[in-house]
Structure 1
Amino acid sequence: MKKAAIIGGTGYGAIELIRLLQLHKEIKVEKIISHSQHGEAIASIYPHLTDFIEEPMHELEIEKLQEEVDIVFFATPAGVAKEILPQFTNPNLQCIDLSGDLRLSSQTEYETWYGKDAATQQLLDKAVYGLSELYAEEIKQANLISNPGCFPTSALLGLAPALEHQIMSPQGISIDGKTGISGAGRTPTAKTHFSETNENVTPYKIGQHQHIPEIEEYLSDKAKTPITVAFTTHLIPMTRGLICTMYGQLAKKATTEEVIEIYQSYYENNPFVRIREAGVFPATKDVYASNFCDIGIHVDERSNQIIIAAAIDNLVKGAAGQAIQNANLMNGWEETMGLHTIPIYP
């Protein structure tokens, strides 16, 4: 059994890692690291963890940590992992970063969209983008994984087959994204205050969302041609869940049934992607608290468009679950280990 540490132990991503790793046969959470609350029991912050995690949270001691654990999950805000990772000297240590520090291959792009200094180019070049369904072979050979963002996970899984099979035109792609409030993290703000979000739908970061270059980079990689997308995000009054509805022009004549068949073939060996039948579309409740991505497809012959809806749980497939899926691939374990659970419903 491998020992794991979680750095950034009090955020929502970390809490989901703890919950899911309780089911894992090959990973044991050895240490939870918190900069601001080390020495405290995590159950004092999250009482639902009472009797599961008894050891208090630790302060980060890099030399000691890298000799005591085999896997490190970074559940930290942007800007933290890129400072800590270069200090690790153990070449066998497996690191999975849930933040956006290593997702973009270009330092300039990162600094433009995140407004922070980028990681070194050496670190960016070493990191493998951890979208399990699209880069499994690269992940299997890696020791450093950049876990995808929640919106890019939904958008890339939804769009990649259509672009790779040249069903959708690479020009004029539009993505309408909607997410629950947990996507904004645990720290409250005026925009996430109950009075502001309840019975309200709010577009935000129009044309400025940091996931735009991530979506474009990896869509371009899969399409083998430069892709630019129009991406609009909305905050929805629900705790968790995310859905992207995507629109593009058909590049060749196809029916809904034909496209669904292509998607089913594309993902036939990917246990966490479920393709809906014609006329059936996913809802966020269908994947609640699970690692599934559910995809529905419609070809609108009248407007010559293909419409794709992809739903995930932003904290699981969009964060912690995918991080564990990547750990499974890195270690040659069953990809579904610790993750193949029925979504919570209702």
Structure 2
Amino acid sequence: MVVRVGIVGASGYTGAELVRLLRRHPEVELVRLTARTHAGKSLPEVFPQFWGLEEQELVAAEPEELVREVDVIFTALPAGESIPYARAAWRAGKKLIDLGADFRFREASVYERWYKLNHGAPELLTQAVYGLPELYRERIKGASLVANPGCYPTAALLALLPPLLAGQILAEGIVVDAKSGVSGAGRQPRVDALYAEANENVQAYGVGCHRHAPEMEQVVQEQLGREVKLTFVPHLVPQTRGILATIYAPLASGVGTEKLLATYRDFYREHSLVKVLPAGVYPRTKSVWGSNLVHIGAVADERTGKAVLLAAIDNLVKGASGQAVQNFNLICGFPEILGLEEAGVYP
């Protein structure tokens, strides 16, 4: 069964990754690639890696027009801009996977407080499924509207939840320290992402006010059944791709490194894209570059009574477009990892 796909926002980094992954997917026909600022250009004029491979023209397409042409829509747009496409898809009975933030929160008031925007379609929030397959695989299978998780929450939640749910770490005093390459800022020009600003520089940003903090807390609270507050500190590092999340949490009594790792192996035994590393081996962003894999490591620091939990992902793949394809496979009834089996590119 070939599925007709449209990508809205194909001229951004996550849009380009969607094209890269979906053009080799055996069950996909890329019907429409849309872009606002680059409409009328061919895809290779915007992303030269596609010369001779994918010559499709980027177009401007209204939501009602797009839903008539495709079966599934991917929206890779800034906050607030996916809502008209989601409305049109819902009315037409089509499926939509949103790589932005518009449908990640259960309550419109939370979204509006953190994103400083009126939501515009609060009735659709009850229909949206949070697209983290390692937690919500069965819900995603029956969904028509999937909210792809943020890149930082993907890494942090996959490292944090198994030992937290197993009672091996305590929920109070958890610190999520995460570092991301500059592609996480998107393709629009920003001063802090300029080469001269980012090169040879590591800096924290959004401390105490980053929009991914309430997203993480929402999932943790849903899983744990009670309110949890996290300290989240993101950093920008001088590399193109990758996220390394390091989580510090109070360790429960009698829990050692091997117990932590055994918990991860059991939790992810049916999720082949999550790789739990042996004791003494720690995740590296370079190892997952270009892949949809997650590398997880852990240490029980018994001297300080703290667990150190680590996860590495490619922010543009598992943190965005690759996970969106994973969700696409689930909602369409395909094998979950179809088109996503490749290892990372190294070195």
Whether TM exceeds 0.5 here: the answer is: yes
**Which residue of structure 2 lines up, in the alignment, with residue 242 of structure 1?**
243
Q: Are the equivalent residues in 2 in contact too, given 1:67–1:90 (CA < 8 A)? A: no
| Residue type at the aligned position of 2:167 | Q
The alpha-carbon deviation at position 48 of structure 1 amounts to: 1.2
Alignment of 1:130 onto 2:125: no
Alignment of 1:88 onto 2:109: no
Relative distance call for 1:183 and 1:89 in structure 2 (3 A) is closer
Ranges in structure 2 where 5+ consecutive residues have no aligned partner: none
The alpha-carbon deviation at position 133 of structure 1 amounts to: 0.6
Q: Following the alignment from structure 1 to structure 2, what is the Cα–Cα distance between the partners of residues 290 and 90?
A: 34
Q: Secondary structure at the match of 2:160?
A: helix
**Which residue of structure 1 lines up, in the alignment, with residue 324 of structure 2?**
323
The alpha-carbon deviation at position 55 of structure 1 amounts to: 2.5
Q: Following the alignment from structure 1 to structure 2, what is the Cα–Cα distance between the partners of residues 101 and 89?
A: 15
Q: Secondary structure at the match of 2:5?
A: strand
| Residue type at the aligned position of 1:65 | L
**Which residue of structure 1 lines up, in the alignment, with residue 104 of structure 2?**
103
Q: Are the equivalent residues in 2 in contact too, given 1:72–1:95 (CA < 8 A)? A: yes
Q: Secondary structure at the match of 1:216?
A: helix
**Which residue of structure 2 lines up, in the alignment, with residue 154 of structure 1?**
155
Q: Following the alignment from structure 2 to structure 1, what is the Cα–Cα distance between the partners of residues 291 and 56?
A: 27
The alpha-carbon deviation at position 89 of structure 1 amounts to: 5.1
**Which residue of structure 2 lines up, in the alignment, with residue 76 of structure 1?**
77
Q: Following the alignment from structure 2 to structure 1, what is the Cα–Cα distance between the partners of residues 255 and 120?
A: 43
**Which residue of structure 2 lines up, in the alignment, with residue 269 of structure 1?**
270
Q: Following the alignment from structure 2 to structure 1, what is the Cα–Cα distance between the partners of residues 96 and 212?
A: 21
**Which residue of structure 1 lines up, in the alignment, with residue 227 of structure 2?**
226
Cα-to-partner distance string for 1:113-167 (whole Å, 9 max, x where unaligned): 1111124321111110000110000000101000000000001000110111111
* Higher alpha-carbon deviation: 113-122 or 163-172: 113-122
Q: Percent identity?
A: 40
**Mapping of 1:178-217 within 5 angstroms?**
178-217=179-218
The alpha-carbon deviation at position 253 of structure 1 amounts to: 1.8
Q: Are the equivalent residues in 1 in contact too, given 2:244–2:284 (CA < 8 A)? A: yes
* Higher alpha-carbon deviation: 282-291 or 39-48: 39-48
Q: Are the equivalent residues in 2 in contact too, given 1:66–1:90 (CA < 8 A)? A: no
Cα-to-partner distance string for 1:89-110 (whole Å, 9 max, x where unaligned): 5543110000011111111111
The alpha-carbon deviation at position 211 of structure 1 amounts to: 0.2
Relative distance call for 1:115 and 1:18 in structure 2 (3 A) is same
The alpha-carbon deviation at position 46 of structure 1 amounts to: 1.2
Q: Are the equivalent residues in 2 in contact too, given 1:173–1:249 (CA < 8 A)? A: yes
Task: Give the TM-score normalised by the residue count of structure 1.
Answer: 0.98
The alpha-carbon deviation at position 36 of structure 1 amounts to: 2.1
**Mapping of 1:249-268 within 5 angstroms?**
249-268=250-269
Alignment of 1:58 onto 2:59: yes
Cα-to-partner distance string for 1:40-80 (whole Å, 9 max, x where unaligned): 11111111111222231121133332121111000111110
Q: Are the equivalent residues in 2 in contact too, given 1:102–1:119 (CA < 8 A)? A: no
Q: Following the alignment from structure 1 to structure 2, what is the Cα–Cα distance between the partners of residues 64 and 334?
A: 30
The alpha-carbon deviation at position 231 of structure 1 amounts to: 0.3
Q: Are the equivalent residues in 2 in contact too, given 1:6–1:14 (CA < 8 A)? A: yes
Cα-to-partner distance string for 1:260-305 (whole Å, 9 max, x where unaligned): 1111010000011000111111100010010011000000111111
* Higher alpha-carbon deviation: 232-241 or 41-50: 41-50
Q: Following the alignment from structure 2 to structure 1, what is the Cα–Cα distance between the partners of residues 120 and 342?
A: 36
Relative distance call for 1:40 and 1:223 in structure 2 (3 A) is same
Alignment of 1:25 onto 2:26: yes
* Higher alpha-carbon deviation: 83-92 or 62-71: 83-92
Q: Following the alignment from structure 1 to structure 2, what is the Cα–Cα distance between the partners of residues 92 and 111?
A: 27
Q: Following the alignment from structure 2 to structure 1, what is the Cα–Cα distance between the partners of residues 141 and 212?
A: 25
Moved segments of 4+, more than 4 Å: none
Relative distance call for 1:89 and 1:105 in structure 2 (3 A) is closer
Q: Secondary structure at the match of 2:125?
A: helix
Would you say how many aligned residue pairs link Structure 1 and Structure 2? 346
The alpha-carbon deviation at position 87 of structure 1 amounts to: 2.9
CA RMSD across the alignment: 1.1
Q: Following the alignment from structure 2 to structure 1, what is the Cα–Cα distance between the partners of residues 281 and 103?
A: 36
